[in-house]
Amino acid sequence: MKVKVSLQLPTAKCAARPPRSDYYPEIIMALILKILFYLYLCAGVQCVHQVSWLPCQFIDERVSLNSEGHVETQHINRQAVLQFGLKGDAPVHPDDLTFLITGSKLELRRYLEGVEEEQMECELRRYSTQGIHVRWPVRAAHEYNRWFTCTLKHTEGLFTVTSFLRLPSDQPPSGQQEYHSWPVIEDREILTTTVTMVAKTKSPSVKAGLGSTQNLHCQFAVDHKAPNVTVEWYRQHRKERVKLFSHNRHTGQTQGSGVRMRSLAGGDASLSIPSTKMSNEGTYACSVAVKPLFIKIDIFLHIEETPRVSLNIGPTLSLLEGREKRVICDAESYYPLDVEIVWYNQDPSASEQRVGAPLPKVLENVGLSSHRHNTDMTYSLSAFFYLKASLKDSGKQFTCSVSHESLRVPIKKSFILTVEEPIRWMFYLTVGFFLVALLFFLKKMLPYLLLAKRKYLPVKPY
């Protein structure tokens, strides 16, 4: 669409006059068009710098029968290249197996969110339809297809993308498992494919606290309209497998909850957990099926609770030399089980030094209680030691350090010990007792002294 912008330049006669108010809409429209044009150029530059190819591992299979008649599968890792382009493009690495992805309604690179190729791990595998032929609605040069799965994972766990690659074939399925007679794929072969279905999660691994709201992301797309898709969610914990949600677009049947139906219609099958409990921990599976294809993406939900750390004493502790005190450090309400509690002491001034400070001395006479199982399925643990007051330890800082996988840095609680000599306390106590006794004596004797003073005073003659 062309937009005609009419701008009248002021003449020399009226150059000093401001533009008429009716020019402002046209000027604003011109500015908006310029902004849109630059945005379009930026988008074009981004498209130019999209990933053009990726190194991949092709996990090939070699199936045979052993001497006992059982099927044995040998997995063979082969170097391959996932290349994006047009049919007939030359391979970027001619010596490797090339999976050439040509244009379709699904652009796989759109799901990679502009990451660099070194941030992705690529894996390709054959896919068996169990010998069943289901005509794929999108037209191709041949009626039959060979299928491959392509899984792309971010190296830092930001996302996982699984897609199906369709390779047209003129060979009908054999009616039995394909792995009995996989077609041989040569090293330098070029397989020209298209993407037919994609599923992605932005939350492959989730760490959640108790009572938090979690959204397990799962989205999908298919290369044709109104596919007969079935979406299901399962949770696997230990040996228990529970179905949480299922929807069949063909029959319209829906079971369970947690997925918004309006979002599901647009390809968003994310599962919502309103208030996380300990029973929500486990492996969640988001599966998307369009016959004969089936994608399952695993999402791991880990419960993590940060320990609450406290001491049974205040920030300072005063003891007489030779006295003993039981000092306890409590780490409460943490999950999972593994926690480490360390007691150590050091000079307070040394903790502020960055260079040349002496290392803290770890205490060895520390005892641990047994793990206590709380009602909310979290754990608690205590670490204690008996502190015998010594003048050489006076002024030292004693620290309890608690480490747990939910913490980036350990939680530390400290106190400073002050030790007094017993003789000082005895001296102060004796002097204090003497002064109190003296005051008491003077208070009792004061009336008698005043009476004696009055008795011996001379009587005045007037």
**Residue showing tokens 């502790």:** 317
Q: pLDDT above 90 covers what percent of the chain?
A: 60
pLDDT digits (tens, 9 = 90+) for 310-352: 999 999 999 999 999 999 999 999 999 999 999 999 988 766 6
As a whole number, mean pLDDT of residues 28-40 equals 59
pLDDT over 70 for what percent of the chain? 82
SS3 35: helix
Phi, psi of 348 (to 5 degrees): -55, -35
CA separation for the pair 394, 421 (Å, rounded):
11
**75-96 average pLDDT score:** 94
What is the SS3 assignment for 22?
A: helix
Predicted pLDDT at 358: 75
Report yes or no on whether pTM surpasses 0.85.
no
Lowest mean pLDDT among 1-5, 91-95, 215-219, 392-396: 1-5
In 3-state terms, what secondary structure has residue 109? helix
pLDDT higher than threshold 50 for residue 3: no
Lowest model confidence (mean pLDDT) among 277-281, 296-300, 312-316, 456-460: 456-460
Position 419 pLDDT exceeds 70: yes
Indicate if the pLDDT at residue 362 is higher than 80: yes
Q: Rounded to an integer, what distance in angstroms lies between the CA atom of residue 360 and that of residue 347? A: 8
The predicted structure's pLDDT at residue 342? 97
Among 16-25, 390-399, 400-409, 433-442, the range scoring the smallest mean pLDDT is 16-25
List the CATH code of the domain at 53-303: 2.60.40.10
> Strand 214-216 vs strand 271-273: parallel, antiparallel, or unpaired?
antiparallel
CATH entry 2.60.40.10 includes domain 308-422: yes
Domain borders along the chain are 53-303, 308-422
